[in-house]
Amino acid sequence: MPRFTSRLFIRGVLFLGVVYFLIPIWWLLTASTKSSSELFSSPPLWFGEDFALLDNIVAVLTRQDGLFVRWMLNSLIYAGGGAIGATLLSAAAGYVFAKYSFPGKGALFGAILASILLPASLLVMPLYLLFSSLGMINTMWAVIIPSLVSPFGVFLARITAQESVPDDLLDAARIDGAGEIRIFSTIALPIMGPALLTVFLFSFVGIWNNFFLPMVTLNDAELWPAMLGLYFWGSQPSELNYHFVITGSLLSIIPLAIAFISLQKYWRVGLTAGAVKI
């Protein structure tokens, strides 16, 4: 039964993949229940003797007058706001690249594709100098504005618009007298929805984990995102902060988990199947 064995093999490989991805999460869960001294003396992938999870959570939430709560809120603002903006900009740009022709289109798109290859941290110093001359250092804008630009998002949106938004549909709308902006926002945008969700999630996770840019541009601890705050706690010398950092990390992945789990039901393909012949 070759078919049976191949299925078994595939399931085995997938199962290994699941284990591989879940072990760090499991470790984070168990480590969050230990006090800082127990971290070193108990088995790494199992619970310690005392169950200190609640103490740890309280310690994280109350440390430095509840700064962690502020950091989480900042992260939500940066990642939420930045990802919504990045998604809308990418959608508009991708749609334009897919559906319009204008001089220099190829070169422009090439430039956008090329910028995917630039490591983000390479741009941090020039961005710093730029924002410094604009007087925007140590403001939320210094983090939000650069995160609005997502070359990968533009690429994905262009492919989506090409594949899933039929030209006939747009022509029909034009004959009915709709303007270009309206066609984009009421017809193209909903059709591109599922792919845009992917762009949104990618941007959200990217900004959530963004670290170097906020570190360089934000001087005020009140403005830091959670990642930077946790990193700061972890890097403080002469103090053992492991349990703060670990429990804080556990708390900080909750919003990401919620974002993924709640948005996955919108991931549908073939949304436009039959759209033209309604």
Q: Under the rule (CB under 8 A), what is the footprint of another protein?
A: 36-37, 39-41, 44, 73-74, 76-77, 80-81, 125, 128-129, 132-133, 135-141, 212, 215-216, 219-221, 228, 231-232, 235-240, 261-265
Residue 99 and residue 160 in contact, taking contact as beta carbons nearer than 8 Å:
no
CA atoms within 13 A on the CB side of 220: 11
Judged by CB, which is closer to another protein: 96, or 223?
Answer: 223
Instruction: Tell me phi and psi for residue 146, to 5 degrees.
Output: -60, -25
Judged by CB, which is closer to another protein: 14, or 73?
Answer: 73
In whole angstroms, the minimum distance from the beta carbon of 161 to another protein comes to 25
In whole angstroms, the minimum distance from the beta carbon of 18 to another protein comes to 16
Judged by CB, which is closer to another protein: 115, or 139?
Answer: 139
In whole angstroms, the minimum distance from the beta carbon of 139 to another protein comes to 4
Tokens linked to 78? 């940066």
**d(Cα 214, Cα 78) in Å, to the nearest integer?**
10
**d(Cα 180, Cα 70) in Å, to the nearest integer?**
41
Tokens linked to 84? 């919504």
In whole angstroms, the minimum distance from the beta carbon of 235 to another protein comes to 4
**d(Cα 35, Cα 55) in Å, to the nearest integer?**
9
- Sign of the dihedral defined by the CA atoms of residues 264, 119, 91, 162, in that order: negative
Judged by CB, which is closer to another protein: 192, or 218?
Answer: 218
In whole angstroms, the minimum distance from the beta carbon of 33 to another protein comes to 16
Judged by CB, which is closer to another protein: 139, or 249?
Answer: 139
